[in-house]
């Protein structure tokens, strides 16, 4: 029996994600869907070459409960190839909040993947997956049942009959992150426990080691409704577990489409709208924007100039894959007792309210339209009509 258990932990690949209505010229498929697939394939190829004892996919393999046929077929092919190369060694697939049906009457795609040797899918109730060939047990808590940890005061327990015990959970831990759109948080006391040899976490899109034995693998591409707030390195996690020692946790990066958020430009510090435009373009020259997703934020530009400035910036940065220009006022401040301006009383920008509205209603969108595309078009429209944060 091996003294060290090796694990490849990958999560939140969001296959089928679509945005911005640009098509891949070769396939005719939404370009961002193709980007997301390539990042997933890159990661799985690296995992195949590393040949770990166990592979864990901790939720949101797909971006939607009913993925596109294009992404579904490719996901199946990739996982089948990986499993054939690994000789059918265990691969556990958890259901996430994006790809798990809400009702039992709805069909799920997960059973399809269990036709591939070595794959076990867990997408309903919590389930212990016993792997006697590895002398290991994996306690799986998919998104559909993660709330039970809090609602029913449950706490998963390691199985002492096995040498290695792993906990796999899809959910956001309470107190660790500012995650505005998460309907609930998992109590840390129900998840973090030193008795587990490794705790594999999913749902948060940035890699983060949250304790000596627990980590979020992060996503493999940029697929949230606010990609600008995400860390720039995406990938998967390699884990080596030796009993009695903290696990070795290493983040392995994958290639993604470049995401670039340029420094804010305060138009009130510029002599004219033209100077504001030139300032933005000068910042863009400091980075390679060709093929990138780019965001520009311009503060305090008069409403009457916004449509013209927006058009000029987009035209000048035509080599970028997409340019998002956000116009906003400086944060509102309130006078303190001494008469000084303080940071209190900051109004929520209408851009953020728009993001939140779309996020709350994204399940109502047609399958072919992504939330990020709706957000982007709305922001462009707001900039064009000058309807931004009111001072």
φ, ψ of residue 68 in degrees (nearest 5): -65, 150
How far apart (Å, rounded) are the C-alpha atoms in residues 37 and 380?
Answer: 27
Q: Is 74 found in the same domain as 35?
A: yes
Task: Supply the range of the domain harboring residue 288.
Answer: 259-385
CATH number (domain holding residue 129): 3.60.21.10
Q: What is the pLDDT of residues 37-91, one digit of tens each?
A: 999 999 999 999 999 999 999 999 999 998 999 999 999 999 999 999 999 999 9
Predicted local distance difference test score (pLDDT) of residue 151: 74
Q: Is 169 found in the same domain as 77?
A: yes
pTM, to two decimals: 0.83
Q: At what angle do helices 371-385 and 303-316 cross, to 10 degrees?
A: 130
Query: Domain boundary residue among 226, 254, 282?
Result: 254
How far apart (Å, rounded) are the C-alpha atoms in residues 73 and 76?
Answer: 5
360-369 core/surface letters (b: 16 or more CB in 10 A; e: else)? eebeeeeeee
How far apart (Å, rounded) are the C-alpha atoms in residues 188 and 175?
Answer: 8
Q: What is the DSSP letter of 300?
A: S
Q: What is the pLDDT of residues 89-142, one digit of tens each?
A: 999 999 998 988 876 545 679 999 999 999 999 998 999 999 999 999 999 999
The string of DSSP letters for 360-387 reads HHGGGS-TTS-HHHHHHHHHHHHHHHT-
Count of domains for the chain: 2
How far apart (Å, rounded) are the C-alpha atoms in residues 208 and 391?
Answer: 37
The contacts of residue 102 (CB under 8 Å, 6+ apart) are 65
How far apart (Å, rounded) are the C-alpha atoms in residues 15 and 254?
Answer: 15
Q: Is 281 found in the same domain as 327?
A: yes
Q: Is 241 found in the same domain as 227?
A: yes
Q: Is 247 found in the same domain as 171?
A: yes
Q: What is the pLDDT of residues 331-389, one digit of tens each?
A: 554 444 444 444 433 445 666 677 767 766 766 676 666 676 777 777 666 655 544 44
How far apart (Å, rounded) are the C-alpha atoms in residues 240 and 7?
Answer: 6
Q: Is 291 found in the same domain as 233?
A: no
Q: Is 339 found in the same domain as 243?
A: no
Token output for 321: 């894959």
């Amino acid at each position: 029996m091996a003294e060290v258990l090796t694990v490849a932990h990958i999560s939140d690949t969001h296959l089928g994600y679509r945005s911005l209505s640009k098509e891949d010229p070769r396939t005719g498929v939404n370009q961002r869907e193709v980007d997301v697939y390539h990042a997933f394939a890159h990661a799985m190829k690296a995992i195949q070459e590393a040949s770990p004892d166990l592979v864990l996919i901790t939720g949101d393999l797909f971006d939607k409960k009913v993925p596109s046929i294009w992404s579904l077929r490719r996901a199946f092919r990739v996982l089948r190839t990986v499993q054939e190369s690994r000789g059918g060694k265990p691969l556990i697939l958890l259901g996430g909040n994006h790809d798990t049906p809400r009702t039992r009457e709805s069909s799920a795609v997960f059973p399809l993947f269990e036709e591939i040797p070595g794959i076990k899918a867990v997408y309903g109730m919590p389930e212990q997956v016993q792997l006697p060939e590895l002398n290991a047990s994996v306690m799986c808590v998919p998104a559909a049942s993660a709330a039970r940890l809090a609602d029913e005061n449950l706490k998963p327990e390691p199985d002492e009959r096995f040498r290695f015990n792993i906990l796999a959970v899809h959910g956001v831990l309470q107190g660790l992150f500012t995650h505005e759109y998460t309907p609930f948080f998992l109590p840390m006391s129900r998840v973090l426990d030193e008795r587990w040899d490794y705790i594999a976490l999913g749902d948060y899109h940035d890699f983060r080691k949250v304790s000596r034995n627990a980590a979020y693998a992060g996503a493999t591409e940029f697929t949230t409704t606010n990609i600008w707030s995400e860390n720039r390195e995406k990938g998967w996690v390699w884990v080596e577990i030796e009993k009695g020692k903290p696990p070795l946790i290493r983040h392995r990066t994958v290639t993604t489409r470049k995401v670039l958020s340029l420094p804010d430009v305060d138009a009130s510090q510029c002599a004219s709208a033209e100077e504001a435009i030139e300032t933005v373009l000068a910042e863009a020259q400091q980075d390679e924007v060709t093929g990138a997703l780019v965001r520009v934020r311009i503060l305090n530009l008069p409403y009457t100039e916004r449509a013209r400035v927006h058009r000029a910036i987009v035209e000048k940065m035509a080599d970028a894959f997409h340019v998002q220009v956000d116009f906003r006022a400086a944060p509102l401040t309130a006078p303190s007792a001494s008469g000084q301006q303080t940071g209190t009383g900051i109004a929520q920008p209408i851009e953020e309210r728009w993001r939140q509205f779309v996020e709350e209603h994204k399940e109502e969108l047609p399958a072919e339209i992504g939330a990020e595309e709706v957000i982007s078009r709305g922001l462009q429209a707001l900039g064009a009509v000058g309807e931004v944060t009111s001072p």
